[in-house]
Amino acid sequence: MSQQVYKFSLSTINHMKKSYETQLIGTPQGAVFRAKTDHAVITAYRSGKVLFQGNSPETEIAKWGTTKQSNHTAKQSTKKVKANPFNPPSTLFTNSHIGSDESGTGDYFGPVTVAAVYVQDHQIELLKELGIQDSKKITDERVRALSKDIIQLELPYSLLILHNKKYNTLQQQGWSQGKIKAMLHHHAIDHVVNKIADAPYHGILIDQFCQPHVYKRYIASEQATMAKGTYFMTKAEHYSIAVAAGSILARASFLNEMDKLSEKIGYPLLKGASNKVDQLIATIIKAQGIDSLDHCAKTHFINTKKAQAYL
Ligand code: MG
């Protein structure tokens, strides 16, 4: 099966819809129509993108006097690829794959969350249409809304939350934050691989937070091995919709956990690790004692010391 994406004017799309009138099937969210012919499944989106998938998509494409192809992601990614076995092939982004990303690692308060998501090739356009993108580029409210959309689509995913108490214990046992992240990614990916059983995927992409050989060493120290076809890439969420979906699930979960912790502690906890965070730490220590930080903060951050200035 092959798939191709072309861009058309809205009037052409309306014309197409009419011509496929008797072959229309369920319209996915964000689409204008979907039709099934003997040659292909045709899905048209409001942005003008039309996806042709099937045994002979060319036959349908030829009917519509095609214009330029709109597969920007694949084009951009070609430039990025260097000769490194851990660099993803540019074909990964347009095929079924697993992506994973984390959240909360730079925030003094709150847990570390990691999400791995499996996206199939035919879902990629729909996820793009929904606006799935790097969670760092959009507002918290949008992250929460998109997270609900992803969950509704029932994509196989695994979301792990490492709460502060456990995080602090591991850190005191000598685990670096890198190792903590590596093991969370490893487990999340493993869960997804098991969940999807025999469903095909072209690879696994981790939003790179350390060198791949360091990642391998971290998980080897816990007797784990990396799955075949695991790739690493910085800013992977810009190229892979699966990593972008992971970044949104992880961030939304972090935000929810922060809400719960804020309620528990009785102060609205701040994200990040700024001076304002130092002042808030001092306020919490004064009101509830330093031990209270163990279940809401990453206590090894320098902020714990800096807060002393406000006591
Ligand atoms: Mg990341």
Query: Residue type for 163, please?
Result: H
Does residue 135 register a pLDDT over 90?
no
Three-class SS state of 101: strand
CA 159–ligand 1 middle distance (angstroms): 14
CA 114–ligand 1 middle distance (angstroms): 9
The mean pLDDT value for 2-13 works out to 85
Residues pairing with 117 in the sheet: 99, 157
Q: How confident is the model at residue 46 (pLDDT cuts 50, 70, 90)?
A: confident
Q: Tell me the whole-structure pTM to 2 decimals.
A: 0.74
Does residue 82 register a pLDDT over 80?
no
CA 266–ligand 1 middle distance (angstroms): 30
For the stretch 166-221, pLDDT in tens is 999 999 999 999 999 999 999 999 999 999 998 999 999 999 999 999 999 999 99
Determine contact, residues 195/158, Cβ cutoff 8 Å.
Answer: yes
Chain centroid to Cα 210, Å, comes to 17
CA 207–ligand 1 middle distance (angstroms): 5
Give the pLDDT confidence score for residue 33 in this predicted structure. 92
The mean pLDDT value for 142-163 works out to 96
Tokens of 269: 């906890």
Q: What is the mean pLDDT of the chain?
A: 91
Query: Residue type for 207, please?
Result: D
